[in-house]
Amino acid sequence: MASLSRQLAQWVVGLRYDDLPPAVVDRAKGVTLHSLASVLLGSKEPGGQQAVQLITAEESGVGHGATIMVDGTTVTKGGAAFTNAEMAMAGGKLDSFRMLTHPGTSILPGAFVAAETAGASGREFLTGLAAGYEVMERLAADFIPTVMARGFHAGPVFGIFGAAVAAAKILNFTEDQVNSTIALCVHLAAGNLEGPRSGGRALREGAAVRNAMLAVALAQMGHVGGETVLEGDAGFYHAYTGNNKGQLTYSFVGDTQTSLDKITTALGQDWMFLETLYRIYSTAGYNIAHVDVTAQLCAEHNIRYEDVERVEAVVNWLETQYPSPAFPSRREDAAPLPGSTPYYTAYGVVQRGFPVLRSQRGDTAGANDPPEVLELMHRVTLIPSHEMTLFGPRITIYTRDGKSYTKQATGREFMWDFDEEARRIRDVIPGLPIPAAQFEDIIATCRDLDRQDRADRLIQLTLKQG
């Protein structure tokens, strides 16, 4: 049987736009819009501005490279990918796959660099995105908690593969070149948990996509990466999960055995990409359902803050020990603080929503929060469970009149279509560095991306006019 990287490469090279189900095309358009909104917001945040300053100082004057979004400076391809990824991360409007990875923060910057380089059409861009997301998420799916338990951050460790595959597809690589791209990503994959645990700031998807651009460039020049770099005895899974037998340290549902064969099973038929959801609030993804599901429960039964005695939420156990039970830096089952899960649950009761423009930096400050939220969060109890799906809490509100009301989330509430994404992301418009009409052009272009001659028109639409 062909190696894992070879099977993936064969599928990537053979994939055509016409092979994509309508739902996959729709999701690819949606994650594009979501990422661009985050880049625009992140351009105003310290982390995004620092990345722009770093790369423009180091790389200004490059004649043939790629564009830093919003800013407009031409820098190296790796520099543009890094900067755009850092702005996307700083903006906080991320997509999420199985809680601990944010594919769009690496895949979209890599895909845009390739699209600008190749003058790719919207259809070519969307096909590359679908390939990148599907490969990354299949490589990551069952292994995320185990990778985190070994001290690696699964986001950048797997994100490099998605960005590199998307770029390789858009650049029309051969099977051998795609195979080598994947193999080279094994050498360049990185990401660690200890920095943030000890007072530092993580280097994550920005570095992953910069390394992805190096892997792509090397493969394009003919660098041969090898065959069994994923499943081999000294390969990727041995290094990052401790074995190449599918044995897991942790999993989301308590199952500690999987198979590497699952990575390519029904490839192109069952689209894991469709599990990608939108993190509309700038907070840990597992908190978003606590806002919306609780708000819906209150609206359905006309429950007011004054009516509530207490709230219970049964949640997936890994959502209470972020980022890993092996190295928890945020215990959501401890005393509630502003920015904790009980805080967001209380927001759902009191405000029936959460400010979309609240930045990640303001999450834990508690400044300007309604006093009712800060009081009610102490009456919210989280109950960890190995049986609950990710992002699918079961919320029960007990009222002062002795009644109780329950709403079970599905975990799919934030896996919406493009129209819903466009409706909800418009709430960011007052915080953008571009006029509302220009952002509406971005929405319209994303909606019609499969009819666009050049996908990089979207890059130009992020630039400040004048």
Average pLDDT over residues 291-299: 98
Burial of 310 (0-12, 13-18, 19+ CB in 10 A): middle
> What is the rounded average pLDDT for all residues in the chain?
96
Beta bridge partners of 407: 395
CATH number, position 313: 3.30.1330.120
Question: Are 305 and 182 found together in one domain?
Answer: no
Q: Is 450 a member of any domain?
A: yes
Question: Are 99 and 246 found together in one domain?
Answer: yes
Give the count of domains, the chain.
2
How many angstroms separate the CA atoms of 144 and 367, rounded? 34
Range of the domain at 100: 4-279+436-461
Whether the predicted pLDDT of 359 surpasses 90: no
Q: Is 9 a member of any domain?
A: yes
Question: Are 236 and 296 found together in one domain?
Answer: no
Cα end-to-end span (Å), the chain = 57
Q: Is 430 a member of any domain?
A: no
Q: What is the pLDDT of residues 203-249, one digit of tens each?
A: 999 999 999 999 999 999 999 999 999 999 999 999 999 999 999 99
Question: Are 240 and 295 found together in one domain?
Answer: no
Q: b/e string for 146-185 if b means 16 or more Cβ within 10 A? A: bbbbbebbbbbbbbbbbbbbbbbbbbebeeebbbbbbbbb
Whether the predicted pLDDT of 457 surpasses 80: yes
Question: Are 78 and 123 found together in one domain?
Answer: yes
Q: What is the pLDDT of residues 118-143, one digit of tens each?
A: 999 999 999 999 999 999 999 999 99
Burial of 22 (0-12, 13-18, 19+ CB in 10 A): exposed
Whether the predicted pLDDT of 361 surpasses 90: no
Task: Return the percentage of the chain with pLDDT > 90, whole number.
Answer: 92
Question: Are 233 and 292 found together in one domain?
Answer: no
Average pLDDT over residues 176-202: 95
Q: Is 404 a member of any domain?
A: yes
Question: Are 80 and 152 found together in one domain?
Answer: yes
Average pLDDT over residues 394-414: 97
Question: Are 441 and 345 found together in one domain?
Answer: no
Nearest Cα to 343, choosing from 369, 322, 374?
Answer: 374
Sequence letter at residue 238: H
CATH number, position 239: 1.10.4100.10
Q: Which of 391, 408, 425 is the last residue of a domain?
A: 408
Phi, psi of 282 (to 5 degrees): -85, 75
Q: Is 426 a member of any domain?
A: no
Q: Is 269 a member of any domain?
A: yes
Sequence letter at residue 231: E
Q: Is 421 a member of any domain?
A: no
Question: Are 373 and 324 found together in one domain?
Answer: yes
Q: What is the pLDDT of residues 46-74, one digit of tens each?
A: 999 999 999 999 998 898 999 999 999 99
Question: Are 445 and 300 found together in one domain?
Answer: no
Q: Is 427 a member of any domain?
A: no
Whether the predicted pLDDT of 293 surpasses 80: yes
Question: Are 130 and 145 found together in one domain?
Answer: yes
Question: Are 204 and 85 found together in one domain?
Answer: yes
What are the structure tokens assigned to 419, written together? 């129209």
